[in-house]
Each structure stands twice: as C-alpha cells, then as structure tokens.
Chain A
Amino acid sequence: MRAILESLLALALGVLVGAAVMAAWGRDPWGAYAALFTGALGNVRALASTLSRSLPLVLTGLTFAVGARAGLFNIGAQGQMLLGAVVALSCGLLSLPPGWHLLVALALSALAGALWALPVALLKLTRGVSEVISTIMLNWVAHWLTLYLVVQKLSDRVVGQRTFTVPMGMRFPVLQGELTWSWTVSVGMALFLFWFLWYHRQGYEVRAAGLNPRAARAAGISVSRAMVLALLLGGVSAAWAGAIQVLGRFPYAITSDLANLGNLGFDGIAVALIGRNHPLGILGGAFFFGVLATGAARMGLRGIPLEMIQIVQGVIVVAMAAPEALRLLRRLRARQKEVVPA
C-alpha cells in the first residue's frame, strides 16, 4: 500500500516539476496537461493510441525489473530493443511459407536480444565488469550497428527516409485504430514473468539471489545462473519491444534516424521503477507513460517539445531513488501535529 502511495507521489512530483518548467517558459501548464489527457484518453481512437504506445514500454520495463530482481542494474534494454527491431524487420526478406513470418520474426528477434545480453553476463561473471558499463557500451555499439543496417542495407529505394515496410503477412493484425494484436506479446510476457518469478523454482532463485546473494548461495542456489537467466530473459523482452514496435505499429518500418524506436529502452527504467519492479505494477507504469507519450504529441502541437516528457520522467526516477524523502515529509507533518495542540 505504501509502495503504491510512493509511486503516486513520485508521479505527482514529476507532473508538478513539468508544470513548473512550462510555466517558467511562459506556457500555460494546466492547459497543456488538459490537452495531454484529452489527447491521450479523450476518445476510443486516443485510448487505442495510448495503449499501443504503452505496449513496448511494458517489455523494456520488464527487462529492467527482472534484472533488478536478480540484483542487477540492467540498463541494456535500449540496445537489445534496437537489434530486436532490426532483426524482426529483416525477417521480411526471408522466403517462408505463408503464416510463418511473424513467428519466425519473433523467434529470431528474441535470439538477437538474448545474444546481445550474453556478453553482459560473461563480462560480469568472469571479469567482474559492472553491467552498468557493459550495457551502455553495448547500447552504443547496437545503435551504430542498427543505423548501419537501416541506412545501408534495408533502406527503401524509393522513400529514402525509412526502411522497406513490413510485408502484410508479417504484421500483427489491427484490433482498433493504432492498437494491434501485439498486446498479446506484452501482456503475455508480463504474466509469464509474474508466474515465473513467484510460482516457479528458478524464478524464486532469481529473487533470492537478488535479495541476499550470500544467503542464497548458502542455500545452494547458483547466483551466477540466476543472473544469467535474468539477463537473457531481459534481452528477449527488450528485443520484443523493438519487434512489436516495427511489426505492430505504424509506419511498419524503421525511420532512418531511428526516431520511431526512440528511447523505448531507457523509458523502461522509469516504467519499472514506478511499477516497483513488479510485472503487474509495470503494466500500470507503462500505461501512465503511454498517456504521456500520446498526449505529448498533442502538446507538441501547442508548441511544447517532446523532451518535456523526459524531464517529467527524470524527476520521477530521482524521486523514486529517495523514498525516505516522502517519509521525511510525513514525519514533518506528524511533528507539526504534535506542536499544534500544545
């Protein structure tokens, strides 16, 4: 209960700081937020767009969360997401019997994500290299690798600004507006990890390794194996975030500046923190950021740039770093109450 309250307070703080920045810039923050919420939730089409934008965030949020459960600080979702997207798209070049493309694309994309997570695990376990450093380096390598493939190998010969589009048979069918059946991947992965972490022996080992590696080791749990497992599962989840962004969302391609993949990987960190690294909490956290992302498009129309959302995100993450700040506030209030009657 207190955890939910802390998350909500962090969200409120982020929104408030965002408002302050807008006001300082001479814009009307409440008008902008009103536009944001009607833009994101005002009608069925808007809601479909919001849900569609939250889906990849669920997956990158899960990447961070499953790592955190194992005691890791995995910020490699960005690179894994990029490679997952480009590998999934490339599957459009394969000649396969009809109906197989989507499944093969998801499988190969998952493989790419896991493969990109493997060096993180190896470096950590054999050389003691912090995953914070290795994941960021691999993110940048993945960025340039994806850019190379998108610009030099997969670009559309007619429309230079993007890659070829995903063939019809490889797309997720549309459910409503921007929302496609790719929701099954995100929700499925969240439910799977929930089951895995709380109802499966190996998932239990992952959590035990994260809570207290020493005690886990003493209980005969292989902490290394738990870490490898968490990193590989995280890699698959992040890769699928990229895959569904390409196979389940307009423009069904990757733009040459990678803009339609954006910062999905990094956004997942805030999503996971808000969701308390719990798969079900992450569904809620992703929805909140989906609202922000969809609404931000509306705010963009009012002359407020999308970076505003990153500021809100940053404030939320910082606020989540110091739950004691909130407890401090409560203590101060309690002290005031004591003083008043006397």
Chain B
Amino acid sequence: MNALLQVFPVALRAMVPITLAAVGEVFGEWAGVVNIGLEGIMTLSAFLAAVVSWATGSPFLGILAGLATGALVGLFHGFISVRLRGNQIISGVGINLLGMGAVGFGTWALWGAKAPMLDRRFWIPEVPGLGVSPFVFLTPALALLTWWLLFRTALGLRVRAVGENPMSADVVGVPVERLRLFAVVYGGALGGLAGAFLSLDWLHTVSATLPAGRGFIALANVVFSKLNPLLALLGGFLFGYFDALGIQLASVAGLSGAVPYQFIRMIPYVATLLVVALAIGRARFPKALGQPYRRE
C-alpha cells in the first residue's frame, strides 16, 4: 500500500514526457500530419540536450538544445511529408531508426559507453522549496497553451481547417503548406522538450533506447485524448502512473522474490494496451490526416 502511494511523486515526473510529446503530436495531427517519429525525436533531443549541458555546464542551454533538436527534426519530417508529399508513416519510422543509430554512435563516440551517467552538475535543478521538477508545472501550462491556441485563436482555427479540408482552406487563402510545417515543427519542439526532460531531469543518462517506448505510449495517449490537449494531460497522468508503477515496484524489496523483475517492467506496456483497448471508443480524426495536399 505504502509502495502504491510512493508512486505518486514518480508519476508526476513520468507524466511529463508522455504528456509533452502527446500534446505536440495533437497539434500536428490537427493540421493533418502524423508523426510516429516521436520516439526518435525524444532519443535524439535527450542526447543533444545532455551533450550541450555537458559541454557548456548549463542545463538551461541543454533544454534549449533539446527543444531546437525536436523542432529541426519536426521540420525535416514536415519537409518530407508536406513539401515532398512523402509517406508520413515511413518517414516517422526512418526518424526512429535514425535516432537510435545516431545516438548509439554518438554516446560511443563521445563517452565510449552505452549509457553514460550524467553528473549532477548537468541536471536541471528542482524548484526551490518544493523539491519537484519545474517541468511538473511547465507541462500542464503547455497543455493549456496548446488547447488555447487550437480552440480559441484564429491560428488554431486555420490549423484545424488545414487538417480537415485543405482544399477549402487553400481556396479562401489559408497557406496550407506553411501552417502544416508550423504545426509539425511545434509538435517536434514539444517532443524535443520531452527528450531533454528525460536525460537532464529524470533519468540522468543517455542511450539509444532511453525513451523505452514512451514515444509510442505518447501516441497511444494522443488516441486516448481524442486530440484534446487537456485530455492528453489527463492521459499523461494515467499512462505516467503505470510507467512509474513499473519503475517503483521493481525496486521494492521482497516483491522481487514473488514477482520476477521482468514482469514488473511489463506493466506500462500492458497497461497502455488495456487502456487503449478498453477506455476509448473510436476517436474522430481530421479528415485529411496523413494525406499530402496537392493543389489541383
């Protein structure tokens, strides 16, 4: 019982990457672009955030590097899917493979180890007095901001129009390609922030498999949220709780005798499958989701 309560502080942390990446992806999907390369974005930006923090001694610059990495990879994905009208799913898989390879190569080249630990100097400091990560506040704020942007501003209306019916949007003079690119870059930037959080704030290491499927759990969260950033925040707590449970229970002495460690580590993935299977009906997605737009 006590162990279950002790999960909550960890769950607050675990909520961050799953929410941030999902909220960004929600924004992109409203504009009609799917990016399943979130895992690769998180891997790459976690790595580059750590490198910058390590090289400059400033975790803050590290966060910015993570953000910029995510935005750049988003731009790359946007270029392929919007400008070149490529296959968004294949591009996303390619980004995941590329992230894994580049980070595996990079950690080996820089530190000569598979998963080097980061020194405390390079971590993001906790909020003074509260003992929690600043990301615990930043994440709900960004979810709220994204919700506001999407549903309360003219920009959001245009982004949604471009995802629903790009031809009509084009006819009334909305720049389809530019808005789609912007949405993917926005989504990528939030994914990059999630990555920077993973290495600099939570796990304090980098490796080729650092997100351990969290990029895909974030995609499950997007489906769960029915493309509402505020519901994605709720989903982030839910999926984050199970993620934290897997981590916390694995370290409870005594339990490991009864339940093998490896089974505890399955919890987040099984829980994600169950939540996606049970809790949701079919979400309604924008009509032009995943479709490149070609002017007639």
Contacts and interface: CB of A to CB of B under 8 A. Distances in A.
Given A138-B273, A140-B212, A148-B263, A315 B94 contact: yes
Contact of A305 (B86, B104, B217, B276): B104
A235 B245 CA distance: 30
A337 interface: no
Interface residues on B, range: 35 or more
A25 B109 CA distance: 8
Contacts, number: 144
A314 B263 contact: no
Which secondary structure dominates chain B's binding surface? helix
Contact of B105 (A21, A136, A266): A21
B80 A322 contact: yes
Interface in B257-296: 260, 262-263, 265-266, 269-270, 272-273, 276-277, 280, 282
Nearest to A273: B90
B84 A305 contact: no
Interface stretch (B95-103, B137-145, B230-238): B95-103
Contacts of B223: 129-130, 133
* Most A CB within 10 A of own CB, among B101, B212, B213: B101
A342 interface: no
Contact of B282 (A128, A132, A152, A273): A128
Contact of B213 (A129, A136, A321, A324): A136
A324 B80 CA distance: 9
A129 B273 CA distance: 9
A6 to B, nearest CB: 12
B94 A144 contact: no
B263 to A, nearest CB: 7
Interface string A313-342: 111111111111100100000000000000
Interface in A295-327: 305-325
Given A137-B213, A137-B216, A148-B260, A129 B86 contact: no
Nearest to B34: A132
A324 B93 contact: no
A305 B101 CA distance: 10
Contacts of A282: none
A141 interface: yes
A191 B109 CA distance: 42
Nearest to B278: A127
A136 B108 CA distance: 26
A269 B93 CA distance: 9
Interface string A52-94: 0000000000000000000001010000000000000000000
A145 interface: yes
Contact of A145 (B36, B109, B262): B262
Interface string B90-127: 11011111111110110011000000000000000000
Given A137-B213, A152-B260, A324-B86, A310 B100 contact: yes
* Most B CB within 10 A of own CB, among A127, A128, A138, A141: A141
A89 B36 CA distance: 34
B85 A140 contact: no
B133 interface: no
Nearest to A306: B104
B87 interface: yes
A254 to B, nearest CB: 14
A315 B101 CA distance: 10
Interface in A143-185: 144-145, 147-148, 151-152
B102 A311 contact: yes
Interface string B175-195: 000000000000000000000
B85 A123 contact: no
Contact of A321 (B87, B109, B260): B87
B57 to A, nearest CB: 24
A222 interface: no
A119 B269 CA distance: 14
B105 A325 contact: no
A270 interface: yes
A152 B80 CA distance: 45
Interface string A276-290: 000000000000000
Given A123-B277, A325-B84, A307 B105 contact: yes
Given A123-B273, A144-B262, A318-B94, A132 B80 contact: no
A270 B89 CA distance: 13
Contacts of B266: 140-141, 144-145
A38 interface: no
Given A123-B277, A129-B277, A318-B80, A136 B216 contact: yes
Given A130-B223, A325-B84, A305 B108 contact: yes
A134 interface: yes
30 contacts: A75-B93, A123-B277, A127-B276, A127-B280, A129-B273, A129-B277, A132-B89, A132-B216, A132-B219, A133-B276, A136-B216, A137-B213, A137-B217, A139-B213, A140-B212, A140-B213, A140-B269, A144-B265, A145-B262, A148-B262, A311-B98, A311-B105, A314-B94, A314-B96, A314-B97, A314-B100, A318-B91, A319-B94, A322-B80, A322-B91
Given A137-B269, A141-B269, A310-B98, 13 more contacts: A73-B89, A75-B93, A132-B89, A137-B213, A138-B269, A144-B266, A305-B104, A310-B100, A311-B98, A314-B99, A322-B85, A325-B80, A325-B86
